[in-house]
Chains A and B, each alone.
Chain A
Amino acid sequence: MSAIAGNWVAVGTVDDIPRRGARCVKNGDMTIAIFRTADDRIFALEDKCPHRNGPLSQGIVHDGCVTCPLHNWVISLETGQAQGADEGATAAFPVRIDGSQVLLALTPAAEKAA
């Protein structure tokens, strides 16, 4: 059901995602988590914590970050960078809202850290 316009892929509507929650988009072997914050901003990260590959989509969303459900690493939704004293990053994908449609670009915003 995904219409492709240029680089952008429509993956669903904003209302499909609970506030302060996430939904997943499967893209081949990769899972991308689409997050919606309390103030309705949308972000996309590869659904893998840089620590032990925990599914970030299952974490608690707060203040522009998500806390990984496995070991409580806090990851920035915007950059995919681990916060605090932890180091590492997961891939962040550009995402935008067109009307109520959520559009996702499948090229990571920045090179993923090794």
Chain B
Amino acid sequence: MKEKLVIIGNGMAPGRMLERLFEAAPGRYDVTIFNAEPRVNYDRIMLSPVLSGEKSFEEIVIHGDGWYIDNGITLYKGHKITGIDRAAKTVTSDKGEIASYDKLVIATGSNPFIIPVPGHDMPGVLTYRDLDDVNAMLLAAQSRDKAVVIGGGLLGLEAAAGLSERGMAVTVLHIMPTLMERQLDPAAGYLLQRALEERGINVMCKANTKAILGDGKVEGVELADGTVIPASLVVMAVGIRPNAQLASDAGLTVNRGIVVDAGMRTSDADIFSLGECAEVDGQVYGLVAPLYKMAEVAASRLSGDETARFEHMDTPTKLKVTGIDLYSLGDFAEGDDREEIVLRDAAAGVYKRLVLKDNRIVGTVLYGETADGAWFNDLKKKQTDISEMRETLIFGQAYQGGGQLDPMAAVAALPDDAEICGCNGVCKGKITGAIAANGLTTLDGVRAHTKASASCGTCTGLVEQLLSLTLGDAYNPAAVTPMCGCTDLGHDDVRRLIKAKGLKTIPAVMQELEWKTSCGCAKCRPALNYYLVADWPDEYADDYQSRFINERVHANIQKDGTYSVVPRMWGGVTSSKELRAIADVVDKFGIPTVKVTGGQRIDMLGIRKEDLPAVWADLGEAGFVSGHAYAKGLRTVKTCVGSDWCRFGTQDSTGLGIRIEKFMWGSWTPAKVKMAVSGCPRNCAEATCKDVGIICVDSGFEIHFAGAAGLDIKGTEVLGHVKTEDEALEHIVALVQMYREQGRYLERIYKWARRIGYDEVRRQIMDDAEKRKSYYDRFVFSQKFAQVDPWSERVSGKDKHEFKPMATLSLEAAE
């Protein structure tokens, strides 16, 4: 009988604990997780790069849904635990779920602290804690308006930099005289303030917030001295408090956090706690390295190893703002028994300070040049006597022992047990060992095998140096990311060379561009097939074996190996005849689920592959063609009812949507393309989160582009305004063609546009009529070869072999 392990909270600490527990004691526990946040485990410390646009949410997910399924974990998303019954050994969620446990882990994390000034509860006042906060900030940032961030600590400054990056005018209010005063001394705080101001962020220290002003929504912030700063968004990042209420209600011992011993046990022996909510030896922690350490201790204890102990650890603080290098570690207060060594280079913006006690380092502050941080940390950890090298200590490791001034020398000279990745506790030897043992050549490879640089990423530079030390010239960090393991060329180079060398088949590309594998892989073949289709629409013969199954059989593969089929419904308009035909097909083939899609089409799910041709034949007879719901191509044009029916409609949005869809269907694109036309700014067709959207207005048509509503949620950018339907069509066709010619395979329009620059797209499509016309003409040309209904092709027998087994053996043959 397995023991029951229940975990409250699904953050980084319990996630790491489970990884370790499954390694140490596989199959020992039935695991149930209750998570108040409605999502899987993600890397919370990477929210700042998501806010600034350097990463997407997908990139920071640690455990996707599959991981929970693979490990047999029951995960309740969006369930908040309301009570723990220690006598009955059960927990109860707000949705009424009751789970009993043998062992319970409380990992409820912390809550952001909100200063209770007047106006703190108005809409427009946010904290900075989870993905919802980030999404709310991103929405607010679209206004390009003014933001105030209260709090000049790590999180506040990252939020400020992110919002500024997203186009807001940002003011940081900090109550202390200098920024990050807990990690930086005043000199480094000053340099940081200057660097932020150079980026256009306004910083006000000694600023005491008195009230948040506004009538129903935020309009500004008033300081104690009467100054008023106008703002439409206020972010409070003034600190966090351990979330210990639940534990306290259950009668567990709680001080600042839930009190645990060095084995992470609370005052109840069957209940553990870890993460930001836990208090060990009077300390609570907020940085990931000690939290991961707690996770490892808890996992050991849960697997029966009673010797694991948590010991206090110092973790370096680094600011995740691109272009600002800052490193702080340990204790740098002044004192009679303390000495310090300081280096200032005002012109270069470099400041370094070492605090010494008895000839040993106790604290380090580095600003502007942080490469020696790991080395100083190592000296501190080992309590090395530095008197021998005191004269040159501040210049760093390269200056010790006659070493040369080589940026590599510092890393080369680090001992194998020097810690490189603080977040994951990975030392140099483990990284170089993994590189050698697994033949790793890339940063991603090191991340996959060691987890180094896979959390906050500030040690990426060190890991790259280790790669180049270990591999020599074989490692080139400046190189573009190759398409896949089969080539060293990036997508853009491959596209350029296909055109320049006139390559017109996949074998020709692989031959000329010196592919390293005999026939590519599942990453490069579909990409090459697309590039060749897009570049040589009249000459290239589509390679079906290089298409993903969805495109090969023109239906969506589902989790159980059945397929779903979506017929095209132009502009989302249908008729009784079409609905009747669909209903008949559903009955005839026993289709289990019929569902309306987000793009206003009807999805028939659960069709066996061998039935597909017959389903298509029946649908085809009723006049349907494939909706390409599976395609990296134009999928739907969603519409509202427009001026035909709507009291507010300004133009015939339905008609325009149908016209666009009939014009553009069948075209292949780097990734899926979804469009919408709304008849007035009320935007009922939700055009402002599509790849291309049109808002009809009295004076014509406002064209939008580069929106997304998937894992990334992004409102559109405005491309421009045109007067007539014909112009609208020409502009969006040209835009899509530009994307078809430049996009990297699987790169959605919003990512392509961000890479190219929104202004560059506007310049080519709105301002350069000649260029627009030539894009338009190339699209029209390629459509001559594209508008073939794949369903009717299959019904007429093309690729028949796909849909039938090769042989069916009798049962006797199987014994």
Contact = CB atoms under 8 A, between A and B. Distances in A.
Q: Do A and B come from one complex?
A: yes
Interface of A: 1-2, 4, 9, 11-12, 16-21, 23-28, 30-31, 34, 37-39, 51-55, 58-63, 65, 67, 69-72, 74, 85, 106
Given A60-B526, A63-B518, A71-B66, A19 B545 contact: yes
Nearest to A23: B806
B521 interface: yes
B64 to A, nearest CB: 9
A70 to B, nearest CB: 7
Query: Which 8 residue pairs of A and B lie closest in terms of their CB atoms, listed nearest first?
Result: A67-B522, A23-B806, A20-B545, A58-B549, A60-B522, A11-B807, A69-B549, A26-B808
B22 to A, nearest CB: 13
Contacts of B813: 2, 4, 9, 27, 106
B522 A18 contact: no
A16 B801 contact: yes
Nearest to B516: A63
A60 B548 contact: yes
Contacts of A52: 66, 69, 559
Interface of B: 66, 69-70, 448-449, 517-522, 525-526, 544-546, 548-550, 552-553, 557, 559, 561, 801, 805-811, 813-815
A106 to B, nearest CB: 6
B548 A69 contact: yes
Contacts of B552: 58
Contacts of B550: 69
Contacts of A24: 805-806
Contact of B525 (A60, A70, A85): A60
Given A17-B801, A63-B519, A70-B559, 12 more contacts: A9-B813, A11-B809, A23-B801, A30-B814, A38-B519, A51-B66, A52-B66, A52-B69, A63-B518, A67-B521, A74-B521, A106-B814
B522 A106 contact: no
Contacts of B544: 18
Contacts of A37: 519
Contact of B809 (A2, A23, A53): A2
Contacts of A71: 66
B651 to A, nearest CB: 42
Nearest to B517: A63
B522 A72 contact: yes
Contacts of B525: 60, 62
Given A62-B517, A63-B517, A12 B522 contact: no
Nearest to A2: B809
A12 B520 contact: no
A25 B813 CA distance: 12
Contacts of A31: 805
B519 A26 contact: no
A67 to B, nearest CB: 3
B561 A54 contact: yes
Given A12-B807, A70-B557, A60 B517 contact: no
B522 A74 contact: yes
22 contacts: A20-B546, A23-B801, A25-B809, A27-B814, A28-B809, A38-B519, A39-B518, A52-B69, A52-B559, A53-B561, A58-B557, A59-B522, A60-B521, A60-B546, A62-B517, A62-B520, A62-B521, A62-B522, A69-B550, A70-B559, A71-B66, A72-B522
A25 B549 contact: no
A21 B811 CA distance: 26
B801 A18 contact: yes
A5 to B, nearest CB: 11
B549 A23 contact: no
Nearest to A1: B807
Nearest to B807: A11
Contacts of B69: 52
A11 B517 CA distance: 30
A28 B811 contact: yes
B806 A2 contact: no
A26 B805 CA distance: 7
A34 B806 contact: yes
Contacts of A65: 521
Nearest to B557: A69
B815 A106 contact: yes
A74 B517 CA distance: 15
Given A55-B561, A69-B548, A62 B519 contact: yes
B383 to A, nearest CB: 38
B758 to A, nearest CB: 32
A20 B510 CA distance: 16
Contacts of A58: 549, 552-553, 557, 561
Nearest to A31: B805
A79 B546 CA distance: 23
Contacts of A27: 808-809, 813-814
Contacts of B811: 28
B797 to A, nearest CB: 15
A16 B522 contact: no
Nearest to B560: A53
Contacts of A54: 561
A26 B552 CA distance: 21
Contacts of A20: 519, 545-546
Task: Name which of B70, B521, B522, B553 has the most chain A CB atoms within 10 A of its CB.
Answer: B522
Contacts of A9: 809, 813
A85 B806 contact: no
A67 B520 CA distance: 12
Nearest to B66: A71
Nearest to A88: B70
A58 B608 CA distance: 13
Contacts of B808: 25-27
A3 B193 CA distance: 82
B807 to A, nearest CB: 4
A28 B545 contact: no
Contacts of B559: 52, 70
A2 B552 CA distance: 29
A60 B806 contact: no
Task: Name which of B544, B807, B808, B815 has the most chain A CB atoms within 10 A of its CB.
Answer: B807
Nearest to B550: A69
A100 B407 CA distance: 63
Task: Name which of B70, B808, B809 has the most chain A CB atoms within 10 A of its CB.
Answer: B809
B805 A25 contact: yes
Task: Name which of B66, B449, B806, B813 has the most chain A CB atoms within 10 A of its CB.
Answer: B806
A75 to B, nearest CB: 11
A54 B549 CA distance: 12
A104 to B, nearest CB: 9
Nearest to A36: B545
Contact of B807 (A26, A30, A38, A69): A26
Given A4-B813, A106-B813, A11 B522 contact: no
A28 B544 CA distance: 30
Contacts of A4: 813
A1 B810 CA distance: 9
Contacts of A16: 801, 806
Given A85-B449, A106-B815, A63 B522 contact: no
A70 B525 CA distance: 17
A50 B439 CA distance: 25
A16 B814 CA distance: 22
A62 B66 CA distance: 25
B545 A26 contact: no
B613 to A, nearest CB: 16
A26 B517 CA distance: 32
Contacts of B549: 58-59, 69
Nearest to B522: A67
